[in-house]
Structures are given as structure tokens and as C-alpha cells.
Amino acid sequence: MVELIKPRRLSPGDTVAITAPASWADKDQVKAASSYLEELGLHVRLGETISMQHGYLAGTDEQRAAELNAMFADPMIKAIICARGGYGTGRMADLLDYELIRANPKIFWGYSDITFLHAAIGRLAGLVTFHGPMLIDLGKEDVHPLTIQNYETLLRPSVLHYTEEISPLQTLVEGEAFGALVGGNISLIVSTLGTPYELDTKGKLLFIEDIDEEPYRLDRMLNQLRLAGKFADAAGILICDFNNCMPNKRKVSLTLEQIFNDHIISAGKPTLAGFKIGHCSPNIAVPMGIGARMSTYDKLLACTEPGVEA
């Protein structure tokens, strides 16, 4: 693992680039959502992938990777925000220049399929990245104020302090733990296993979330993570939102609680559930790689420092 580095905070007038490293996005939605960033005093530059379609991808792997590399290399761009997720980031991970990324640290922001890039950039470039709401999330009619406020922290750095003032938290395994925050979407975390970008959970706080997965599929993925030692290696575990993860194909099903018990609680690590992180509203942004404390006694997750340099 390389030494951790943080990107610099944004200032009014800075340029923020929008890219689509996975599936393609609706350009009109992207433009509409960009207006909020402009209201913060930022200049928005749309990448060419916003207008590309290659099947379910926003351009070929080479096109998407080249755009992301170019955005990191461009000194005028101070932050890179993903328009949406979908599928495809793992396909281009081996086309990224991680030395270039490390030499040009800047804010990189997204979630869902972007989990693969968070894992890859964190492991090979050592850059703190942000698991946070996509740009198109800002354009939704029912977007939560806390989802929007996440972006303001990029101009006015703050330390993440998640308590039950945001959402109720449930203790599954009592205890306290300290470690760097890692994780994201379960499907993508599993897809890193056995690759050069495999998520390292040793001594870290692992957070997990997913959407539209049936319990038996989550069972399979959690079992794989358990067998790979990811829960046993972690210092603590944060169970986040599992939006619409209901039985459909197999009506007779184990509950999510039973599955968590079989694969996570059995690891015996301090475990809290109920975090509004992921495919949910609000969607609270998390600085990946930053040290944090979790406590089931105090019902909190508290980072030790901001995710950006002042």
C-alpha cells in the first residue's frame, strides 16, 4: 500500500469536470444537475463521455479511461465528479495511470459502480476519494437537503460526524473500533477479489451497501467476502442501506438480518447498522481512506480529519 494523500479543497471559481466512467447518462439531466455546482461558484466542464454510448457503456473502455486520465492530468481541473454509475468501471481499471493520479491529487467523487475505482485508486495511488452522491442525484425532484449539502463540504472542509440525528442506528455487535474507512457496493467489492485492486480490509472500518439484490444473491456475495476473510480482517463493520433488496425470484427466503448474522455478526467485530450511505435518501458522503472511530455505545461514526486539505 502506498502512503495516503489528500486532495485540496475547492475554492469558488475552480473547475469541476463531469465524467461517465461506467454507464451513459442523460445529458439533459447532467446539465440540469450541474446548475447546483454553478450556484456554489464552480465552473463545470462536461466530459465527452457524457455524450457517448457504447451498448450500456458511456463509450469504449479506452475512451472512458483516456478521459479520466486526462482529467487528472489537467491542472485546470480541481475535482472530478461521476455523472452516474451503472456498470463498467472494472473493465477499464487496468487502463488508468495510477502514477499520474498520485502525482495530480484531486477530488474524485461517486458511488455504486464507482466502488471499483475507489478501491483501485486507493490501493495503487493512495488518494483519498469520496463515496458520495452522483451528479444526477442532485437533479431529482425529491433530493434530500443533506444529499445536496455533501457537496458544500468540498469548499468548506468538515469532519464527518454521523450520529442518530441523521438516522437510527442499530447495534449488531457491541464495541468500539478505529481504522480507515473502506468499502462501498457489495457487488463491486466482490468483483475486486483476486485482482490487483482487491479491497484490503485489514484493521479498517468496512462499510457495505447495495440495491435491488435479492437476499439469496446477497447471501452468496457476503459468503464470498466471509470466506475471503474480509469481515474477520476488519476492525469494525458498518451496514448501510440495502434499498429494495427483497425476495422476488425465490419467495421463500432468509431475511437480511439472518444473512447478516450468518456472515457478518459471526465475525465478532463491532457492527452498527442503519447508515444512510449508498442508494438511499439522504446519501451521506464518506471520505475513503480517512481514519475514523465507530462506537456502538455512543452510536456514532466520527472521522479524525477532513477528507480534503484546507
Catalytic residue numbers read 112, 209, 279
d(CA 67, CA 19): 8
- Tell me the residue ranges of DSSP E strands in 57-141: 77-82, 107-110, 129-131
Cβ neighbour number for residue 256 with a 10 Å cutoff: 18
Q: What b/e readout covers 111-140, taking b as 16+ CB neighbours within 10 angstroms?
A: bbbbbbbbbbbbbbbbbbbbbbbbbbbbbe
Which alpha helices (DSSP H) does 40-77 contain, by range? 61-73
Q: Which residue has cell 483516456?
A: 66
SS3 295: strand
Residue type at 179 in one-letter notation: G
Three-state SS for 262-282 is: HHCHHHCCCEEECCCCCCCCC
DSSP 8-state assignment for residue 261: H
